Amino acid sequence: MALNISHAHDLIEQCHQKNTVERSPVELYDPCNYIMKQGGKRLRSIFCLMGYELYSQDIEKACDLAYAVELFHNFTLVHDDIMDAATLRRGVPTVHHQYDTNKAILSGDVMIIEVFDRLLKIDSPKRHEMIGLMTTTAREVCEGQSMDMTFEEKSDVTIPSYLKMIELKTAVLLGAALRLGAMHAGACEQDQEHLYKFASNAGISFQLQDDYLDVYGDPKTFGKRVGGDIIQGKKTYLYLRALELLNEK
C-alpha cells in the first residue's frame, strides 16, 4: 500500500499545531514557531513516514520521529539563511530578517537541542541507533555547509567535489529520514541501507533542481530570491558546467 502523501502532510501539520512552543522566554521560542508554521514541502518528515509505512501501516506511531526530522531540517535553514545572507524563505522574510541575527542563531541552537530531546523520548528498541544516525547526519550536514562556504572563495572547484558537497549538505538528511522511519518500523539492516541510498540519490537530484530554479524559477512559487546563488558566489552545478563548456573568451 502506497503512502497517502496528503494524509502524511496533514499528520505533520497536526503534529506542529500540537507542538507549538509556548515556553519562556518568548524571544527565544517565537522564532522557532515562526519558521515551523510556514509549512513548506515537509519532504523530509514525509520521507520518514514513508519509510515507516513500508513496514507498518500505523504511521501515526512515527509522527514524533518525523517531527524531530522536520525540526532538524528547519534548524539548518535558520542558520544557513544567516550564512547565505538570504532575505526570503518560503516567500516570507527569513528568521534573522524577521527578528535579528543573534535571536536567529540562538533559536536555531535550541531547535537542535529539541530534536535530540525528542529522539530520547521515542519508544523504540532502536532508539540508540536512531540517535547515532541523526548525530552522524548532523555532523555531515555541517561538513557540507562548511564545504559550500569554502567553495565561494575558491576558483578551482570541480563537479565531483560539488556533488560530494551537496550529498553532505542536502542528500544525507533525506537518506537518514527514510532510513529512520524504516528503522523505527523494524526493517532489516540491508533494507535500511538500500532505502538510505535511494533517498540520498533523490536528494542529490533535488539539489540539482534547486540550482536550476535559482536561475530560472518563478519567485512566487520558488519562495526565494531568484539569482541568490549567483549573488552569493555559490559554485552550483550550472556555474561549474558553464565553466567546463565555455572557451576562455
Angle between helices 101-120 and 26-36 (to 10 degrees): 80
The pLDDT value given to residue 194: 98
Q: What's the pTM value of the predicted model, to 2 decimals?
A: 0.88
Buried b (16+ CB within 10 A) or exposed e, 156-184: ebeeeebebbbbbbbbbbbbbbbbbbbbb
pLDDT of 1 strictly over 70:
no
Residues 198-220: what's their mean pLDDT? 89
- Band the pLDDT of 168: cuts 50, 70, 90: very high
pLDDT digits (tens, 9 = 90+) for 3-60: 778 888 788 888 777 777 778 899 999 999 999 888 778 889 999 999 999 999 888 8
pLDDT of 104 strictly over 70:
yes
pLDDT of 222 strictly over 70:
no
pLDDT of 210 strictly over 80:
yes
Which range of 2-11, 98-107, 226-235 scores highest in mean pLDDT? It is 98-107
Distance between CA atoms of 59 and 52, rounded to whole angstroms?
Answer: 7
Distance between CA atoms of 159 and 148, rounded to whole angstroms?
Answer: 13
